[in-house]
Amino acid sequence: MAELRSHRESTSFFEGAPSLPEVAVDPVKTVNSAATAPSPSQSMSKPHRCSFADLQTIASQIAKGSHGGDKHVADSFVYAFDIDGVLVRGGKPIPEAIEAMRVLDGDNEYNIVVPHIFLTNGGGKTEEERCRDLSRQLGREIKTGQFICGHTPMREMAERYKTVLVVGGEGEKCRHVAEGYGFKDVVTPGDIIKHNEAVAPFRKLTAEEYANSRRRSFSRDVIDAIFVFADSRDWASDIQIMVDLAMSQGGRIGTLSTTFDEGPPIYFSHNDVVWSAAHEQVRLGMGALRRMFEVIFSDLTGGKGKARIHAFGKPQVSTFEFASRLMSDWRTTEHGLVGSLKTVYFVGDTPESDIRGTNAVNEASDDDWYSILVKTGVYQEGNTPTYEPRVTVDTVLDAVKHGIKREMERNESGGRRKALGLSGPSLEDSSAIDS
């Protein structure tokens, strides 16, 4: 059966079951508090052997949810969700998402709670504000400890660069996000336009934008890096300023390089060309802005320019690894779990980022990263996904039910085989449940 631990107690529901060995702590995957926090299993008495009949009884109890209504936490698998097109569309919850969250919280036939996190390429607000939005949309509390947005990994670069240009988002929000990450000197396109409105001939700052933009001379300033935190609200002026800097002498505003290879590095928080919004057709995203920048920069420099461009977000493996560290912390702080996972179910709607990234990290990881594609967002029924998921389902609710059922069937099979003294892969492990 599944390796489960009581949600609020330190005793294991499976105490005594021989199919549930203590889980070794993986020092690579367990960080900070996880490395020192006592495992719920450490206070358990030594397991004793039980019979196959005992296991069947336990399985029956779980199936019926007949163990007094207590919730138990699955410690061998977790879920990670993309948001737009999976849980939310156009600012409104996808109806099945509400039910899916209930199932994860233990409202299921097995009475188990499934730890889960959220990993979106979206951004433009602080993680706290995004979590408040998502909590309101899903009707339940979402905490920052279980949430990563496109620019979250950028906080790890705050010490590397002194003066940075932050692009995208509404008003001053992304400047505040960057400052909250610890960036010391944050410039916005508004600051540059306020300094010299000829930079963007067709862009007129509103009275509010003018008041919020900071006056500075720029005569001695060097822009050390450009961070595109969120979708641009004015592509023409933002691209103009990014191209100016990419063609500048070492990031000095108003200068022009002769080699076009000394501009500051540019970091995009993700690469998605399109995303699923309220409109019935997908909408242009940050990846489209990047493509436009690249084409214009190439044209203006006769193909000789060199821009140093990087991207965070899905499908970058580093973003999934960042998510893995957050997941480890979340399992410990929220659920008291320590130890390695077996399976991470990732649910997304975009083959090029969600599925591609999940499949890639699966290749690089000891854990089984299991990609699930839903049909409520970018991917639509009838198309052939450019990156093949392990399974395709209609909605996020189907995705949640699929993984839980798969885990329970796999672990039931494993427990039965172990009780019978068998080893090696079981037939169920290679069953045709997956596409």
Q: Which stretch binds Mg ion (CB under 5 A): 77-85, 196-204, 239-247, 363-371?
A: 77-85
Cβ-contact 221, 163 below 8 angstroms: yes
Distance of CA 163 to the CA centre of its chain: 27
Using Cβ positions, the residue closest to Mg ion within the complex turns out to be 85
Residue 352 interacts with Mg ion (CB under 5 A): yes or no: no
Residue 412 interacts with Mg ion (CB under 5 A): yes or no: no
Residue 272 interacts with Mg ion (CB under 5 A): yes or no: no
Smallest separation, CB 350 to Mg ion (Å) = 5
Q: How far is CA 115 from CA 68, 101, 363, 400, in A?
A: 21, 11, 23, 12
Smallest separation, CB 230 to Mg ion (Å) = 15
Cβ-contact 340, 327 below 8 angstroms: no
Place of tokens 């990732």: 346
Identify which of 358, 282, 376 has the alpha carbon closest to the alpha carbon of residue 86: 376
Identify which of 318, 323, 322, 297 has the alpha carbon closest to the alpha carbon of residue 309: 297
Contacts of Mg ion in 369-408 (CB under 5 A): none
Residue 251 interacts with Mg ion (CB under 5 A): yes or no: no
Residue 3 interacts with Mg ion (CB under 5 A): yes or no: no
Smallest separation, CB 285 to Mg ion (Å) = 10
Residue 123 interacts with Mg ion (CB under 5 A): yes or no: no
Which of 58, 59, 85, 356 forms a contact with Mg ion (CB under 5 A)? 85
Smallest separation, CB 139 to Mg ion (Å) = 20
Q: How many residues bind Mg ion, per CB under 5 A?
A: 5
Which of 3, 75, 82, 412 forms a contact with Mg ion (CB under 5 A)? 82
Choose between 200 and 374: whose C-beta lies nearer to Mg ion: 374
35-58 in b/e form (b: 16+ CB < 10 A) is eebebbbeebeebeebeeeebeeb
Identify which of 142, 122, 146 has the alpha carbon closest to the alpha carbon of residue 314: 122
Identify which of 55, 75, 245 has the alpha carbon closest to the alpha carbon of residue 167: 245
Residue 172 interacts with Mg ion (CB under 5 A): yes or no: no
Neighbours of 139 (CB within 10 A): 11
Smallest separation, CB 378 to Mg ion (Å) = 6
Choose between 90 and 250: whose C-beta lies nearer to Mg ion: 90
Smallest separation, CB 341 to Mg ion (Å) = 23
Smallest separation, CB 376 to Mg ion (Å) = 9
Residue 347 CB contacts under 8 Å (≥ 6 apart), including other chains: 79, 80, 81, 82, 86, 354, 372, 374, 396, 399, 400
Identify which of 155, 171, 150, 188 has the alpha carbon closest to the alpha carbon of residue 350: 150
Q: How far is Cα 432 from Cα 435, in angstroms, rounded to an integer?
A: 7
Q: Which stretch binds Mg ion (CB under 5 A): 141-149, 299-307, 350-358, 360-368?
A: 350-358
Q: Which stretch binds Mg ion (CB under 5 A): 65-73, 161-169, 223-231, 341-349?
A: 341-349
Choose between 85 and 287: whose C-beta lies nearer to Mg ion: 85
Which of 84, 127, 191, 407 forms a contact with Mg ion (CB under 5 A)? 84
Cβ-contact 420, 6 below 8 angstroms: no
Smallest separation, CB 149 to Mg ion (Å) = 12
Smallest separation, CB 294 to Mg ion (Å) = 23
The one-letter amino acid at 244: D
Which of 349, 398, 407, 412 forms a contact with Mg ion (CB under 5 A)? 349
Note the residues at the interface with Mg ion (CB under 5 A): 82, 84-85, 349-350
